[in-house]
Each structure stands twice: as C-alpha cells, then as structure tokens.
Structure 1
C-alpha cells in the first residue's frame, strides 16, 4: 500500500488532499497544528518531524502547510520564513536521506512567484515576485530543489484556491470563498461602499482538482519502474496546475450574487466599487496576470481538466442556502 504524509491537513487544501488519498486507497498520515483526526505536529520542530517521518516510512510527502496570506507575510517576513522556507528545506533534506523507500516530496507553491506582466508562464520562465509572500515561496522552491534528491522532489505552483470550508459558513479559509461575505445584504452601519479588485486577473482553482493532481503525482512517482534495476519515474523540479477560467475578484463577487439570487437567496452588489487600476495605497503589491502554463503536467499523462467554476459554486451555494 502506498503511504503518504500530508502536512497542513487541517487546512482547505490539506483536507481535500487527505480525502483524495483515502479515496485512492493510500495509507495517509496527516500532520497539522490542530487536533482532531490529524497528528498534532509543529513542523518547525525538526527532531519531532524527523522522528514521525522515519517511523511512518512514507512513499511520498505532500507539503501543503504554509503561511498563505500575503499581507501577513509582508508584515512579518521573518516569522513566515520558518514555515515557507525552513520547513520545506528540512523536509527535502530528510527525504533525500531516507531509503527503501526514498519518499517523493511534493511542495505546494504559488503563481505569485511571477510579476504578472508576461503571461502565460511556463516552468522555464524566470520568476520575479512582487511581494514578500511570493519571495518566500520562491525561496521554498529553491530549498526543495537544492536539498531534495533529483527526480524525487518537485514544487507544484497553483493559483488562488477555493473549496468546501469547515464549517461551511466560515469563508475566510479562501480568498475566493471570503467574497461571499462581500455580497451579503447589509443593514445599518454595515451599509457602506466597499472597494473590490477588478484589476488582477485570477484563475480560481478548486482544491478537489488540485488534490486529484497531487494524488496522480504520487501514483506517477510510485509506479513500477520499466525494469527491476530502474528507479521510479522521475518528478520534474517544477510543475504548474491551474484552472483555465480567468476572472477578477469583482467578477467572482458578481457571479456569486447572481447564483445566490437564482437559487432563491439574497445578495447585494450595488455597494461594491470596482477598482480597475492598481491601488497605490495597498499594503502588499500583487501581480496583474499570472496565468500558468500547465503543459509540463500534461506531458506526464496527468489530466489538467477542472470542474467549471459556476457548476461547482451553484451546487455549493445551494448547500449553503439550504443548510
């Protein structure tokens, strides 16, 4: 049986990855700072992390844990460095030191390693992050590449993610889901204008699609070699995955409002003021257009298909309204 460790397993992506691993029949060990059905672990505790990894002897580690909020990283880059750079560096060194099996390390990165001026971006394009978050994830990629065993370590860049939150009414796990709060009918003091980004072009991607790709990468990295003396199929050092539908946050908010109304719910958008230019007062610089070229993933025989944005949200909003 394929054994997989999932870090950040209590997060939006981590939960989806763990569920997919179980559906694939993998034996999963879930690491998280939270309690519950996950193994409580501080990943910055290198000794404890090494002990658990060695005891479990995984075939793969999927590293989803990160400080993903750009404004938080911008305000305290040193604190975020431990999770976004030091932890993947340690996991890469640890995986490279193990044998029978040599675990594949799949590190989650971001489209924010690019400046958004020349899309679409292939894995061969030079990164140029505009903010501390993008730089920290780029540094994490470099750590994985430097310390990981060639062919057994990769960083998968993904765009902004969305999915089923826990609980379903708590939207702040995702920069997409949280837009539902912006279209909620306001009363009294809440009824004021709200600026909404209509400049940055995003490619919102469902965590269930990302989880399926990650499971496929695990299967690729653990598939039977062509001959008994051969190594397992190699993982490229960098890969991209993204949905193909382009939209701004303002577009998403309007879509949510329309779907909510069609489903019999209440939503408002008159108070939203679209911003079509870069906000000069923004605390964190964000790239304009970071479309990712997913062709390298397709070359591995892994599907890059994604569930249509509106299709998923229509079902999810129906559950939310009827729950």
Structure 2
C-alpha cells in the first residue's frame, strides 16, 4: 500500500504518519507552514503541484487531513480558509478517484461541527446543519468529495487532543494555561459538551479503514470519544488532579461568551465503524493528563 497524507505535520497528521510508518506502509507526508524533516513541503492549494505529486507517487490512498480547523480563525479569513477547506478538497477529490489514470480512494477528515448540536447523537446519515462558517466549509468539503467519487470516504471526528507541540495546538490542552494564569479571570462554559478523541485513536481508525479498503464502502463514517466533557469539566479536572486553584474562573451555564457560535452537543454515532470491528478509545482523563505532563 502507498499512502499520501496531507497535513502530516499537524496534530492528527503526526500520529497518522508515525503509525503508518511503524506498520511498514509507504507513506508520503505533506507539510507547508510547519516544515519537518522527512516530510515533503508543498502548498496543497497549488493544483499543478498536487497533480504532479500524485502522478509521480501514485498512491493507493490519499488521507486528506490538512484544513483550517479553528472556527474563530475561519471567521477572520473566510476566503483563504474556504479555499483550503473546500476548493482544494474539491480539486484533490476530482483528480484522485477510482476512475482516473493514477486514482484510488480518498479519506477526507471532517468534523462533528457539521451538526447543529440540537439533537444528538447524530448518525452518519443525518443531514448536516452547521452553526458557523467552519462547519459549513467542512460540510461542503464532504459534498464535493462524494460528488467527485462515491467510492471516496469521509471520516468525521470530534475535538482532538494528543501529543501537542504547544498547548494552543488543541482547544483542550490550551485550558492548562487558562487554569494556571490566575491573574487572568475567565468565563468557562459548561453548556457545550464534546466527546474528545485522542489523535492516536483516530490514527488507529484510519489504519483499520486503510487495511479494509478493498471491502470498505464509500460514504460517511464517524468517530466520537466515548465520554462527554464540557470545558468547565476539563478545567475542574486540571484543578483537582494538578492541585491548581481555579478561583479566577467562572462557570457559564449558557453558550460560550465571545467568539463564533458553537453547537451545544454534537456526539456522533460510532456504529458504522464498530460494526466493522473498528474501535479505538483512550480514557480521556488518563490520555489528557499525560498530554499535559511535558508542560508542567
């Protein structure tokens, strides 16, 4: 098997690249703004460059992980972000499909933010109804991928955490600074609930999907972590487990103050994967606290 991975220097991409290499799979990882030794630095929004790379590497599978994934940044740079999340995705899905000369299968990494959060848990067949531009861009990305080739796959994932390079790399690990910066009062929502997943778990799911590619139908698949946490729950966990005060923090029982709208609860049904024997889950408390250790 030969795999091409976009976003290989990102939070998820690093664990995907590491796992596939450890299994002896020939994988070409792409990066751009964060060059890393062993990866190919390439601007995936450059369609000609991507065409040439695919023609030369001839992968069996493309895992498209690169994206603008921060909702607030998406609102600030909507055109630039839409180009990456939708336009580039559409081009990649069209040039790399089962009917093209160098084609094969593509797995597009999407998000639970394609849902409104009003009626969880959501099945893979539930029509998306996003509340912000980020969710809209990822839902449109799903549509252009499957329109290009129904044999392509979409994998929706929740908020992720893992072995971060900086705390700000994950919307969850950055909460360590929120707790320990006691001179900065902050309001933290207990309203929005998420089902976080460790990046190593998602990498394992992608590996299983890749290994079953010959029999895996195209379409939408989903994975959520099996535990539900709000940001308020997480700052309490940090405070209790690491003996840090949280007197400067205030619980907000309604939607998060400031920023773009977030859905309340976007838990996704996992059965489409578990029915195929694909199931990876790290206990959140154990995995999350381990991720924080290098920054303590």
TM-score class, shorter:
over 0.9
> Residue 285 of structure 1 aligns with which residue?
261
> Residue 238 of structure 1 aligns with which residue?
220
Classify the secondary structure of the residue corresponding to 1:96.
coil
Instruction: Give how far 1:299 is off.
Output: 2.3
> Residue 18 of structure 1 aligns with which residue?
17
**Higher Rg of the two aligned structures:** 1
After superposition, residues 275-314 of structure 1 pair within 5 angstroms as 275-279=252-256, 282-303=258-279, 305-314=280-289
Classify the secondary structure of the residue corresponding to 1:86.
helix
> Residue 7 of structure 1 aligns with which residue?
6
Q: Distance in 1 between the 2:278 and 2:181 partners?
A: 42
Q: Distance in 1 between the 2:66 and 2:75 partners?
A: 18
Instruction: Give how far 1:315 is off.
Output: 3.1
Instruction: Give how far 1:301 is off.
Output: 2.4
Instruction: Give how far 1:282 is off.
Output: 2.8
Contact persistence 1:104–1:218 (CA under 8 A):
no
Count of paired positions:
294
Instruction: Give how far 1:97 is off.
Output: 6.4
Gaps of 5+ in 2: none
After superposition, residues 1-323 of structure 1 pair within 5 angstroms as 2-33=1-32, 34-37=34-37, 38-96=39-97, 102-148=103-149, 150-151=150-151, 153-166=152-165, 170-186=166-182, 191-221=183-213, 232-261=214-243, 267-279=244-256, 282-303=258-279, 305-321=280-296
Gaps of 5+ in 1: 222-231, 262-266
Q: Distance in 2 between the 1:161 and 1:216 partners?
A: 19
Q: Distance in 2 between the 1:98 and 1:54 partners?
A: 14
Classify the secondary structure of the residue corresponding to 2:63.
strand
Deviation sequence 1:256-315 (CA, Å, 0-9, x none):
222223xxxxx2211111110125x63311100101001111222212x30101111343
Instruction: Compare 73-82 and 108-117 and name the one that shifted more.
Output: 73-82
Q: Distance in 1 between the 2:15 and 2:139 partners?
A: 24
Deviation sequence 1:78-114 (CA, Å, 0-9, x none):
2111110011111111112665764210100000000
Instruction: Give how far 1:319 is off.
Output: 4.4
* Off by >2 Å, runs of 4+ in structure 1: 97-103, 313-321
TM-score by length of 1: 0.87
Q: Distance in 1 between the 2:77 and 2:261 partners?
A: 15
Classify the secondary structure of the residue corresponding to 1:18.
helix
Classify the secondary structure of the residue corresponding to 1:5.
strand
Deviation sequence 1:97-144 (CA, Å, 0-9, x none):
665764210100000000000000001112100000000000000010
Q: Distance in 1 between the 2:100 and 2:144 partners?
A: 20
Query: Once superposed, what is the RMSD of the aligned Cα atoms?
Result: 1.6
Contact persistence 1:203–1:243 (CA under 8 A):
yes
TM-score by length of 2: 0.94
